[in-house]
Amino acid sequence: MSSNLQGKKVLFITANTGIERDELLKPMQALKDQGASVTHASVKGGEAETWLKDSKKDVSVQSDTQLKGVGAADYDLLVIPGGTVNADNLRQDEDAQRLVQEFRDAGKTVAAICHGPWLLIDAGVVPGKVLTSYASVRLDLANAGASWVDAEVQVCPGQNWTLITSRNPDDIPAFNEAISQALLAA
């Protein structure tokens, strides 16, 4: 990844537990290394617990703020990490749903990996979009009106906003590259 993302602002949103570690920390670090300003907002603020493969608690990280206190106007791009427990909690959070809708309405890029697209379903933004996800989310997305593809990374620029999706932690390098490219164009 050869780019300079100085001045670009990225918002990561999570629940406070069950976040797939690498889907949060690797994209955050890659963007910081390129000069982007990164903010992590969690549902409750404070400590957020990461997991490995949805089965083993890993490191806890401090989120920068609560979801309730942030808005799309202050950021260039939104990232939604996976983790089954994280995604299931996040999809039910009204502030998380509001943020996704704000980014869409502002024509800004949203990126989601693994189970992260569950939030997109509950926010009502997937009809007509083409995306990928963890395989078990495929039917949920199709039932919500999206077209699903099995791809390392899927970039869908339709409907005046860009959606970037990936399937799992193995796809993180391609996911990070797609996010960087979207930020360069923002």
Active-site residue set? 114-115
Q: Are 167 and 150 in contact (CB under 8 A)?
A: yes
Instruction: Count the alpha carbons within 13 Å of 42 in the hemisphere toward its beta carbon.
Output: 19
Distance CA 16, CA 86 (A): 7
Phi-psi region of 14 (alpha: psi -120 to 50; beta: other; left: phi over 0): beta
Structural element, H or E, at residue 131? strand 130-131
**Beta-strand relationship, 56-62 and 77-80:** unpaired
